[in-house]
Amino acid sequence: MDGFRGLIHYVGSSYGWLIIWDDKYNPTLLNPFSGAKFALPPTVPRNLVYPSPRKSKELSIWMGIRKAILFSDPSRTEDFLVAMLYGIGRLAFYKHGESSPWTHLTKNSRETRYHGIAYHNDKLYALHELGIDVWDFGYPFPTKVSTIELSRHMTLHKNRSDSKNFRCYRNIVESMGELFFVYLFTFCNSSTSTRGHEIRIYKFNPGENTWEQQENLCGRSLFIANHQIMAVCARDFPECEENSVYFADESDLGLYKLPINGDVMEPLFQQRKSNTYSPPCWIVPNF
C-alpha cells in the first residue's frame, strides 16, 4: 500500500476509513478512496506484543489489537474519537485533537474481557461473556451506565457427536439504527471433513430490554471476517444478496442464505481458501 513500509494489519473500518497498524506498531487512519490519513498515537506496550503463531511474517501484534471503530467521520470533523479492543479483551479510546494519548478503560478480568464493540445511539456497546456493557462518552470521562444481559439459550448449539474442531464466534453489530447480537458456531464433520455453520441472530428491543431471535435480516446483508462484523442494506448495494451472510476465516469463504432450513446454514457458495492470506477486511465507501 502506498505510503506504508512493511506489513500492515487491518483492525477495523468505519465511515469508509480503514484503521491499520504497521510493522512498527504505529496506528493510522486511512481513507483508501481519497488518500487522506491521520496518524494516531502509539498504542501497544511491549507486554502486549505477542509472537505470531504463523510461520509467515505476519505482524507480531496479531493478538495486541483486535478491533477498532470510529464514533464519527474524520472527513467531517477532526474531533473524532477512536475506540479499540486490545490484549485479552481490554478497552481503550483516543480523542483526536487532545494532547493525551490512549486512555485505557478496563483491566484484565473475566467480567471485562470484551469480545466485540459497536457504536449505537451515541453510546459504546461492549460484548463480554455475560452480557453487553453500555458506555456513555458524554460525561467528562467515559462511564459504564448499564449492562444488557444475554440469555444462556442464545449461545446454545446442538450437540454433534460426529464433529470436531468446534469454534464459537459472537459479536454485536449496529445497522440502520438497530443493534444485533450474532452467534456463529463452526464445526467440522469427522467422517466427511466438511465444515458446517450454525448461526443465530437476535435484535435488541430497547423498550422491553429483551432480545428477539430473527429468521432473516430484514433485507440486510451481513459480513463476518477477521474479528470484524458489518451489516448493510442490500437495497443500497444491489450486488449483495439480501438476507445473506458473507463469511470468511483462515480456511473458508462462504455465502449463506437466510432463513435457515434446519439447524445448519447451507451455502449458496463455498470455497476452500488458501491459508496463505489473511481474511478480508470489509469496508463501505462513504462518498
Q: How distant, in Å, are the alpha carbons of 4, 20, 56, 112, 131 from that of 231?
A: 29, 21, 31, 25, 21
pLDDT digits (tens, 9 = 90+) for 4-38: 665 677 778 899 999 888 777 778 899 988 889 99
Q: Which CATH architecture has domain 8-149?
A: Beta Barrel (2.40)
Name the one residue in this structure whose C-alpha cell is 451472510. Answer: 245
What digits encode the pLDDT tens for the residues 96-132?
Answer: 988 778 888 876 555 578 999 999 999 999 999 889 9
Q: What is the 3-state secondary structure (H, E, C) of the chain?
A: CCCCCCCEEEEEEECCEEEEEECCCCEEEECCCCCCEEECCCCCCHHHCCCCCCCCCCCCCCCCEEEEEECCCCCCCCCCEEEEEECCCEEEEEECCCCCCCEECCCCCHHHCCCEEEEECCEEEEECCCEEEEEECCCCCCEEEEEEECCHHHHCCCCCCCEEEEEEEEEEEEECCEEEEEEEEEEEECCCCCEEEEEEEEEEECCCCEEEECCCCCCEEEEEECCEEEEEEHHHCCCCCCCEEEEECCCEEEEEECCCCCCCCCEEEEEECCCCCCCCCCCCCCC
Is the pLDDT assigned to residue 56 strictly greater than 90? no
Cα-based torsion angle of the residue sequence 280, 166, 153, 209 in order, rounded to the nearest 10 degrees? -20
pLDDT at 132: 95
pLDDT tens-digit readout, 217-246: 889 999 988 778 999 999 999 899 899 998
pLDDT value of residue 6: 59
The residue among 135, 187, 181 whose CA lies nearest residue 159 is 187
pLDDT recorded at residue 273: 56
pLDDT of residue 177: 94
pLDDT of 135 strictly over 60? yes
Pairing of strands 244-248, 220-225: parallel
**Please, which pLDDT band fits residue 51 given cuts at 50, 70 and 90?**
very low
- Give the pLDDT confidence of 256-283 residue by residue, as tens digits: 888 765 556 666 666 665 555 566 777 8
| pLDDT single digits (tens) 192-220 | 666 677 888 999 999 998 999 988 888 99
Provide mean pLDDT across the span 132-156: 87
The model's pTM is 0.84
Question: In this predicted model, what pLDDT tens digit does every residue of 57-92 receive, in sequence order?
Answer: 444 444 567 888 999 999 998 889 999 888 778 899
What pLDDT, on a 0 to 100 scale, did the predictor assign at position 171?
93
User: Would you state the cell numbers that stand for residue 195, as one nine-digit string?
Assistant: 465444515
Length of the chain in residues, anyone? 287
Domain limits, the chain: 8-149, 152-272
Residues forming a β-bridge with 220: 233
